[in-house]
Structure 1
Amino acid sequence: MKVLITGAGGQLGKEWVDFCKDHGVSYNSFSSNELDITDEDKVAKTIADLAPDVLINCAAYTKVDEAEENKQIALKINAKSVKKLANICNRNNVKLVHYSTDYVFAGNKSDKENSPEGYKEEDSTDPVNAYGYSKLKGEEAIKDSGCKFLLLRVSWLCGKYGHNFVKTMLRLGAERDELKVVNDQFGSPTFADQVVEQTFELLQQNKTGTYHLSSEGMTTWYHFSKEIFEQKGMNVKVNPVSSADFPTKAKRPFFSKLSTQKISNVDGVLILDWKVGLQRLLKQL
């Protein structure tokens, strides 16, 4: 299997490069500066020249709050460019692996009551912010393109690279004795190394379609932060607050747990509890 990785400078892209090196997977990788997915001609030429079996797209506009004011930029990168990628993959018989988000769902309280195990892949989507909307439009474009694809939704992504909640908490915890963290948003962290391992297993088994990749269990940002400090042995007092105390430009879903039922039925895929995933990440850091 020969893979081409776009967005290789980001949290997930760097994880993919590490995995390919460690597992002897033939790959070419490009950061978004090296290969801008909005440049259709350059992308088409690169794919034609390198002839990969799989394109792993880790390039995305992920600034959730800034997307509210930059809706067109978010749509350009997360939807229009993804549509072009999918069409190029279709023409060249390349399987497209694309990552999406829990934010395509409404995340309201009734959904938590009706689906305590989390959103299933086929559940109806209804994003509450511009970022989620742009990612949903990208999903729809892939499904309409006719290309072979793996569409993988993740939530609360954390890894050893880039910016994420775990690294932010470790930094703040080293600077302060006391923190306020929201306790009314429910979900489950997804760890970048597991995302790559699970995706590779799906590719090995020639799976297609939509899958949710996340961890077992559910938590809030407050309890997540407490667990981070507990596992690290850091003496930081964490105070639970409501989302109203931390107003943001983009509305956040109250509930964004992704069900791991479908992916857990795939042989060879290991789903870890979020606390175990956190333990692994803290060792890596």
Structure 2
Amino acid sequence: MGTDAVKLLVTGANGQLGQELVHMGNARIQIAGFGRDQLDITDLNRCREVLAEVKPHGIIHTAAYTAVDKAESEPDEAYRVNAIGTRNLAVAAEEIGAKLVFVSTDYVFDGTGTTPYEESTETNPQSVYGKTKRAGEEFVLDLSSRYFIVRTSWVYGQYGSNFVRTMLKLATERDTITVVADQIGSPTYARDLAAFLIQLVHTEKYGIYHATNSGSCSWYTFAREIFSEKGMNVRVEPCTTAEFRRPAPRPAYSVLDRAAIPRNGLSDLRPWREALREFLGVKEP
């Protein structure tokens, strides 16, 4: 890429991950963030126009239909954004020779496993959301020659709504909070994920990656850890997925094996508790 500043285009710039990325620009990395109002990814001509104007070296595609439960009753809209929108960006990126980073999800797996899912594990999405994200992955695989597919999970950060912020809000409203204890995954701090994506797009190590903070827990354990770190006296009661019915099925186990990161000489993400402490502003002991 030479010694000039690297120019990156971020889709979904108003989302929690997109906002983290936009704030990571510096003298060596120019980041042009586009929200839905400025770039409708479901419009191929608009994708081509924006890419021709910005001329990015790489695109970090975080824009997505992420309302997991709502997607069950709006499958066409979820597919239009997550699959067709991703196809459009893949086509437009390929035309100008730009790298494409597509942020995908643990929901592409069925969650019936008991050991971490490897990058090469067969996908088997159970929800509309998971199916549409997998369709997006397939378009990238078919249409892109310089791609990174990055699956992540349980993302939280300072922007947008997420589990950590919801728990902290609920703690101010009630004494007891009931949280699902039989879904296991890896919490991921949006800032750590954003830093990894920028590290990745600087390479030519194309392929599929799993990127989460290391370690795993249940939502129940995650909630308890949040309150423990903040020194908040909140009672957390465990419940089962069956007791907490939602329209979309959730993977019971969606821990992702991150073998592709060290295999390609990249820096792994730190343990999830360490990242959570930083986010909550708790000083290390």
Class of the TM-score when normalised by the shorter of the 2 chains: over 0.9
Task: Name the counterpart of 1:36.
Answer: 40
Stretches (4+) displaced over 6 A:
none
Task: Name the counterpart of 1:59.
Answer: 63
1:246 maps to 2:244:
yes
Alignment check: 8 A CA contact 1:86 1:147 kept: no
Alignment check: 8 A CA contact 1:89 1:147 kept: no
Name the CA distance, whole Å, in 1 between partners of 2:57 and 2:71: 32
Alignment check: 8 A CA contact 2:119 2:258 kept: no
Q: Secondary structure at the match of 1:263?
A: helix
Residue identity opposite 1:65 in structure 2: D
Q: Secondary structure at the match of 1:150?
A: strand
Name the CA distance, whole Å, in 2 between partners of 1:175 and 1:261: 41
Q: Please, which of 11, 21, 25 is the counterpart of residue 6 of structure 1?
A: 11
Residue identity opposite 1:106 in structure 2: D
Task: Name the counterpart of 1:103.
Answer: 107
TM-score (norm 1): 0.94
Q: Secondary structure at the match of 2:68?
A: coil
Q: Please, which of 74, 79, 92 is the counterpart of residue 78 of structure 2?
A: 74
Task: Name the counterpart of 1:260.
Answer: 258
Q: Secondary structure at the match of 1:2?
A: strand
Task: Name the counterpart of 1:183.
Answer: 181
Unaligned runs of 5+ in 2: 1-5
Alignment check: 8 A CA contact 1:215 1:260 kept: no
Q: CA RMSD in A?
A: 1.3
Residue identity opposite 1:220 in structure 2: S
Name the CA distance, whole Å, in 2 between partners of 1:146 and 1:179: 45
Cα distance, 1:160 vs. partner? 1.0
1:15 maps to 2:13:
no
Q: Secondary structure at the match of 1:134?
A: helix
Identify which range, 75-84 or 265-274, moves more after superposition. 265-274
Q: Secondary structure at the match of 2:103?
A: strand
Name the CA distance, whole Å, in 2 between partners of 1:14 and 1:139: 23
Name the CA distance, whole Å, in 1 between partners of 2:84 and 2:265: 34
Cα distance, 1:91 vs. partner? 1.1
Residue identity opposite 2:88 in structure 1: K
TM-score (norm 2): 0.94
1:90 maps to 2:94:
yes
Alignment check: 8 A CA contact 1:182 1:241 kept: yes
Count of aligned pairs between the two proteins: 277
Cα distance, 1:84 vs. partner? 1.3
1:46 maps to 2:50:
yes
Identify which range, 265-274 or 179-188, moves more after superposition. 265-274
Cα distance, 1:3 vs. partner? 0.7
Cα distance, 1:261 vs. partner? 2.3
Q: Secondary structure at the match of 1:201?
A: helix
Name the CA distance, whole Å, in 2 between partners of 1:250 and 1:264: 34
Cα distance, 1:234 vs. partner? 0.4
Task: Name the counterpart of 2:232.
Answer: 234
Task: Name the counterpart of 2:3.
Answer: none
Task: Name the counterpart of 1:166.
Answer: 164
Q: Secondary structure at the match of 1:131?
A: helix
Unaligned runs of 5+ in 1: none
